[in-house]
């Protein structure tokens, strides 16, 4: 079979393939770069590492724009510019590049008005490309010799590419490593369906590969893919790698693959959500002894904010202990977990542009610091921060014990309740809370006004009622 595959005639020959293996090159073109001396252990480690990268990264070049902070599309070249961006730096690259660009398959693709030609890896800015797997680490002499030339049908219907695989990507001697082929199929099948998916991008959810024939190093391969079905965020794609055959010859299938690709759910940023709702979400964390007045103040504060037109919701023992945290007791370990869960829920409320008001004893500084840090972490992605406001409801123990509306202090003194905060378990006062209120010296209304004034001063709420 006369196949139109070749490698540089200046390279030294590998020699014949083992029996039963298929060569994609005519004998006079079965040539390679001089092999380097590697121990079997070093070779195994090298390609084992590649395998891990292939499995974890998927189509690295295609997914790069998904990385937060890299979505500035003005930094990416257009398809047309990507074709001019690559300049071969040596004779081998020039020969390979010339061969691909003047091959009849390339001419055929260019005559199809529905096919868009590009070199996708060259669309990446240099600063990103050098950290990219297929556009950086695997691209160059002895590897993927030149950036693959690709054609994508409008609407994400089909995909064709031509690549040259060098001699430093072997598994068995002279045979291209299957991990490299898997990565190429992963990228190609994903890239095929981009135009059919929302946002014109997706990630690989599942990839199945059937290796049919070994691929000799130093050869040209063609990838063909077609989008078979699209349902919302999902696209099913099938494709294969084949030899680059001469006119009139049938190509040989080297590997077949099928993939499921998905795109993410669209979502608003926290800043956009705050703007649309006309208010900012934040958490007010009331802490203090039992019977200090936390729940009373929290209830009045929630009502006050709602009257101002500010969406607010109160979390306390009545609506948390009997649902979300009904499996927890009052040991130190369970108290810690109780506060962690409450902090996560409060953060979700605040993230939705709702004011979360929590009223829990939360006796340990470390737990309250965990809650604060959870909120702080939410503001690290160039989005609006979620303010965390610690409010210390400060009353002396004797005042709280005198109030004792549920008789808990009396039971704790009698030894009927173990690990009761302030009696048989410690309460660690906040060291630097944003607000301190004294319910033994101020009325509930005065405490609420003190908190509201602080919120207005900080620009978190306004005095005018919203509708």
pLDDT at 258 over 70: yes
**Which residues partner with 219 through β-bridges?**
165
CATH of the domain at 246: 3.10.129.10
pLDDT band of 261, cuts 50, 70, 90: very high
Neighbour count for residue 266 (Cβ, 10 Å): 8
CATH of the domain at 385: 3.40.50.300
Residue 5 lies inside a defined structural domain of this protein = no
Predicted pLDDT of residue 382: 72
Predicted pLDDT of residue 266: 64
Instruction: For residues 185 and 221, state if they share a domain.
Output: yes
From 228, 243, 262, give the residue that closes a domain: 262
Query: Per DSSP, which regions of 140-193 are E strands?
Result: 149-153, 158-165
Q: Lowest mean pLDDT: which of 105-119, 263-277, 416-430?
A: 263-277
Domain count, the chain: 2
Structure tokens of 403? 């109030």
Structure tokens of 263? 């795109």
pLDDT band of 246, cuts 50, 70, 90: confident
CB 139 within 8 A of CB 180: no
Residue 236 lies inside a defined structural domain of this protein = yes
Query: Cα separation of 66 and 84, whole Å?
Result: 25
Instruction: For residues 254 and 275, state if they share a domain.
Output: no
Q: Lowest mean pLDDT: which of 27-36, 164-173, 405-414?
A: 27-36
Predicted pLDDT of residue 75: 65
Higher pLDDT among residues 38 and 122, named by residue = 122
The mean predicted confidence, pLDDT, of the chain is: 85
Instruction: For residues 214 and 345, state if they share a domain.
Output: no
pLDDT at 204 over 90: yes
Predicted pLDDT of residue 380: 65
Would residue 78 show up in a list of annotated catalytic residues for this protein?
no
Predicted pLDDT of residue 332: 78
- Most confident range, picked from 323-332, 404-413, 434-443: 434-443
Instruction: For residues 285 and 246, state if they share a domain.
Output: no
Instruction: For residues 247 and 328, state if they share a domain.
Output: no
Residue 109 lies inside a defined structural domain of this protein = yes
This prediction's pTM: 0.50
Instruction: For residues 61 and 206, state if they share a domain.
Output: yes
282-287 vs 388-393, strand pairing mode: parallel
- Burial (0-12, 13-18, 19+ Cβ within 10 Å), 40: exposed
Mean pLDDT of 247-271: 88
Instruction: For residues 230 and 355, state if they share a domain.
Output: no
pLDDT band of 35, cuts 50, 70, 90: very low
Neighbour count for residue 11 (Cβ, 10 Å): 17
Q: Lowest mean pLDDT: which of 46-50, 128-132, 135-139, 244-248?
A: 46-50
Residue 192 lies inside a defined structural domain of this protein = yes
Instruction: For residues 415 and 277, state if they share a domain.
Output: yes
User: How many degrees, rounded to 5, is the angle at CA 439 between CA 436 and CA 443?
Assistant: 115
Predicted pLDDT of residue 381: 65
Instruction: For residues 248 and 319, state if they share a domain.
Output: no
pLDDT at 443 over 80: yes
From 262, 292, 321, give the residue that closes a domain: 262
Residue 59 lies inside a defined structural domain of this protein = yes
Instruction: For residues 48 and 182, state if they share a domain.
Output: yes
Residue 6 lies inside a defined structural domain of this protein = no
In the chain, % of residues over pLDDT 70: 82
226-235 in b/e form (b: 16+ CB < 10 A) is bbeebeebeb
Predicted pLDDT of residue 321: 80
In the chain, % of residues over pLDDT 90: 67
DSSP string for 237-298: EEEEEEE-PPTT----EEEEEEEEEE-PPP---HHHHHHHHTS--EEEEEE--TTSSHHHHH
Residue 281 lies inside a defined structural domain of this protein = yes
Predicted pLDDT of residue 127: 81
Structural domain of 43: 12-262
From 262, 292, 326, give the residue that closes a domain: 262
Give the model confidence (pLDDT) of 51-95 as tens digits: 434 444 343 344 444 444 434 434 689 999 999 999 999 999 999
Predicted pLDDT of residue 272: 85
Residue 463 lies inside a defined structural domain of this protein = no
Instruction: For residues 96 and 215, state if they share a domain.
Output: yes
pLDDT band of 163, cuts 50, 70, 90: very high
Contacts 24+ apart (CB under 8 A), 430-435: 430/287, 430/365, 430/368, 430/390, 430/392, 431/365, 433/287, 433/390, 433/391, 433/392, 434/389, 434/390, 434/391, 435/389, 435/390, 435/391, 435/392
Predicted pLDDT of residue 263: 86
pLDDT at 388 over 90: yes
Instruction: For residues 103 and 40, state if they share a domain.
Output: yes
Residues 6+ positions from 287 with CB-CB distance below 8 Å:
294, 360, 361, 362, 363, 368, 390, 391, 392, 393, 430, 433
Residues 6+ positions from 399 with CB-CB distance below 8 Å:
440
Predicted pLDDT of residue 285: 98
Predicted pLDDT of residue 50: 42
Predicted pLDDT of residue 18: 37
pLDDT at 269 over 90: no
Predicted pLDDT of residue 68: 40
Give the model confidence (pLDDT) of 306-341 as tens digits: 999 999 999 998 788 888 988 988 787 888 898 999
The separation between the first and the last C-alpha atoms of the chain, rounded to the nearest angstrom, is: 78
Annotated catalytic residue, options 78, 163, 362, 432: 362
């Amino acid at each position: 079979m006369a196949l139109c595959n070749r490698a540089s005639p200046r390279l030294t020959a590998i020699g014949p393939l083992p029996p039963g293996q298929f060569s994609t090159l005519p004998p006079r073109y079965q040539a390679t770069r001089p092999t380097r001396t590697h121990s079997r252990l070093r070779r195994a480690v090298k390609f084992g590492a590649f395998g891990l990268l292939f499995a974890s990264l998927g189509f690295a070049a295609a997914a790069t724009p998904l990385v937060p902070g890299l979505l500035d599309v003005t930094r990416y070249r257009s398809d047309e510019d990507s074709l001019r961006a690559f300049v071969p730096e040596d004779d081998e690259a020039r020969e390979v590049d010339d061969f691909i660009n003047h091959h009849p398959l390339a001419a055929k693709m260019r005559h199809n008005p529905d096919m868009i030609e590009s070199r996708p890896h060259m669309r990446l800015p240099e600063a990103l490309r050098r950290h990219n797997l297929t556009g950086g680490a695997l691209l160059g002499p002895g590897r993927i010799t030149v950036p693959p030339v690709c054609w994508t049908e409008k609407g994400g219907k089909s995909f064709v590419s031509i690549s040259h695989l060098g001699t430093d990507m072997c598994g068995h001697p002279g045979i291209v490593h299957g991990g490299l082929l898997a990565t190429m199929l992963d990228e190609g099948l994903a890239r095929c369906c981009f135009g059919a998916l929302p946002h014109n991008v997706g990630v690989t959810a599942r990839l199945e590969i059937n290796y049919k024939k070994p691929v000799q190093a130093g050869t040209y391969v063609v990838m063909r893919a077609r989008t078979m079905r699209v349902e919302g965020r999902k696209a099913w794609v099938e494709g294969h790698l084949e030899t680059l055959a001469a006119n009139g010859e049938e190509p040989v299938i080297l590997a077949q693959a099928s993939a499921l690709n998905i795109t993410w759910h669209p979502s608003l940023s926290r800043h956009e959500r705050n703007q649309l709702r006309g208010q900012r979400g934040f958490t007010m964390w009331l802490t203090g002894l039992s019977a200090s007045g936390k729940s009373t103040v929290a209830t009045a504060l929630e009502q006050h904010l709602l009257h101002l037109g500010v969406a607010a919701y109160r979390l306390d023992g009545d609506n948390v202990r009997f649902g979300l945290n009904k499996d927890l007791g009052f040991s130190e370990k369970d108290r810690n977990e109780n506060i962690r869960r409450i902090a996560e829920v409060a953060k979700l409320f605040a993230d939705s542009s709702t004011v979360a008001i929590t009223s829990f004893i939360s006796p340990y500084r470390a737990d309250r610091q965990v809650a604060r840090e959870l909120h702080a972490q939410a503001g690290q992605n160039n989005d609006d921060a979620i303010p965390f406001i610690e409010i210390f409801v400060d009353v002396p123990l004797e005042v709280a014990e005198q109030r004792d509306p549920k008789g808990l202090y009396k039971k704790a003194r009698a030894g009927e309740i173990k690990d009761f905060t302030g009696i048989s378990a410690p309460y660690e006062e906040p060291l630097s809370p944003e607000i301190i209120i004294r319910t033994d010296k101020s009325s509930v209304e005065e405490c609420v006004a003190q908190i509201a004034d602080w919120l207005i001063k900080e620009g978190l709420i306004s005095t005018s009622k919203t509708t």
